Amino acid sequence: MSYAHITGWGMSVPKKVLDNQAITQMVDTNDEWIVSRTGIRERRIAGEDETTASLATQAALNALETAHLLPASVDLIIVATSSPEHTFPSTASLVQDRIGAYRAGAYDLSAACSGFIFGLNTANQAIRSGDVNNVLVIGSETLTRFVNWKDRNTCILFGDGAGAFVLQSSEIPGGILSGVTRSDGSGGDLLILPAGGSFMPANFDSVHNELHYIQMNGREVFRFATKVMANATQEALRAARLSIDDVKLIIPHQANQRIIESAARKLHISMDRVMVNVDTYGNTSTASIPIATCEAISSGRIAPGDKVVFVGFGAGLTWGATVAQWSGPIVPKPLILPTHFRFLARLRSLLLRLTRRIEGVIWGRIE
Ligand code: ACO
């Protein structure tokens, strides 16, 4: 029987910081309102040279380095994102090429802010089935590129960034203990990016009417979120045969401090057992849980053996939770570091492109 252990973690955020004060120059709002209603003080904004794939690539390499795993050993890459670089190719394929994970299959997962949880639960099932041994699950976003900076209801909330976990199979019991993955499409209109898909391809009217930006019914999303966060946590704990008292730390989706506090109240736990960093990054969607995890580890709030719960919600509507026993690296440090693979991966990608060109010329001539 294989268990899926979380053996590596990494994050990458843009350099540019946008604080609440800067937003007051764009819309009618103020720092006091934003902090009291959301807990957010600042967020990161991707620069011109930073994209969903570039942030994902750096987070993935950092996670592989923590796990002591080379990209060549990765079997599967799942990129959970709501801001993919393109409809196709998948952002996961771009990451696969850039890190040189030449044995890996790669695909994107679309479940809005619940995407990282859905990715973890999917990776757990793939490892448990015996199909794969080493999986990269990445949450990466540049959602601020889909934010209407004239809409004060949404522009205060979102930030950019990426986080990644490495999951590895082991016969030793532990790792991911249970997962809950749920959807309710009847609430799809509550949080939506109307244009840009096949239903309404981007055109002059869609841009003119600002339909290529995020639209949200904040109050309804808030009500939904406060309902599902505690329920999903309890359901996942029951499936793992654990109680809330066994849990060292809850790492929730970082959307709003008040939603997180409401979930903690319903679970009857104090806030010192809940990870919160929404103040510094805002809502980074699929990236928020792995980024919060990296910061929880670096501040010593989780150690190997601890039980943790990841729980989130998002557009769709979607929600879910994952219970895990914290692991850490299970293989010794390699001589070549995963980050060194970046140069080798670029070389390999260039050679593949060149070979494809040469083959094209040869076959073209024959035809
Ligand atoms: N600054 C000042 N006033 C504002 C702002 C702002 N930035 N935004 C809204 N207001 C006003 C409203 O216009 C409203 O005024 P009115 O009463 O005159 O109409 C008033 O403040 C109260 O508005 P509410 O919407 O009731 O404010 P609320 O307390 O619900 O907070 C918020 C709004 C922060 C958006 C909250 O509803 C929320 O966090 N909802 C959940 C959003 C969320 O988590 N979305 C991400 C989901 S994850 C994913 O998949 C991407």
Report whether residue 153 contacts ligand 1, using a CB cutoff of 6 Å: yes
- Residue pLDDT, tens place only, 91-129: 999 999 999 999 999 999 999 999 999 999 999 999 999
Tell me the pTM: 0.95
Name the residue of 28, 113, 114, 153 whose CB sits within 8 Å of the most ligand 1 atoms, as the mutation to test its pocket. Answer: 153
CA of 218 to the centre of ligand 1 (A): 5
Q: Which atom of ligand 1 is nearest to the CA of 29?
A: 1
Rounded alpha-carbon distances, angstroms, from residue 17 to 7, 46, 283, 347, 360:
30, 9, 14, 33, 46
Catalytic residues: 113, 253, 283
- Residues of the chain with pLDDT > 70, as a percent, come to 99
Name the residue of 37, 117, 151 whose CB sits within 8 Å of the most ligand 1 atoms, as the mutation to test its pocket. Answer: 37
CA of 40 to the centre of ligand 1 (A): 12
- Residue pLDDT, tens place only, 12-30: 999 999 999 999 999 999 9
Kindly state the average pLDDT of the residues 33-61. 98
pLDDT value, residue 230: 97
pLDDT value, residue 338: 76
- Residue pLDDT, tens place only, 68-83: 999 999 999 999 999 9
Residue whose CA is at the smallest distance from ligand 1 atom 13: 153
In this structure, the strands spanning 76-80 and 105-109 are: parallel
Supply the DSSP string of 249-281, one letter for each residue: EEEE--S-HHHHHHHHHHTT--GGGB---HHHH
Report whether residue 221 contacts ligand 1, using a CB cutoff of 6 Å: yes
CA-based Rg of the chain, rounded to a whole angstrom? Answer: 21
User: Is pLDDT at 337 greater than 80 in this prediction?
Assistant: no
Report whether residue 318 contacts ligand 1, using a CB cutoff of 6 Å: no
H/E stretch holding 347? helix 341-366
In the chain, what are the domain boundaries?
3-325
Contact between 43 and 159 (Cβ < 8 Å): yes
Closest to 297 in 3D by CA, of 44, 46, 63: 63
Q: Which atom of ligand 1 is nearest to the CA of 23?
A: 7
Mean pLDDT over all residues of the chain? Answer: 96
- Residues of the chain with pLDDT > 90, as a percent, come to 92
| pLDDT tier at 366, thresholds 50, 70, 90 | low
CATH number for the domain formed by residue range(s) 3-325? 3.40.47.10
Contact between 134 and 101 (Cβ < 8 Å): no
pLDDT value, residue 365: 65
Q: Which atom of ligand 1 is nearest to the CA of 112?
A: 50
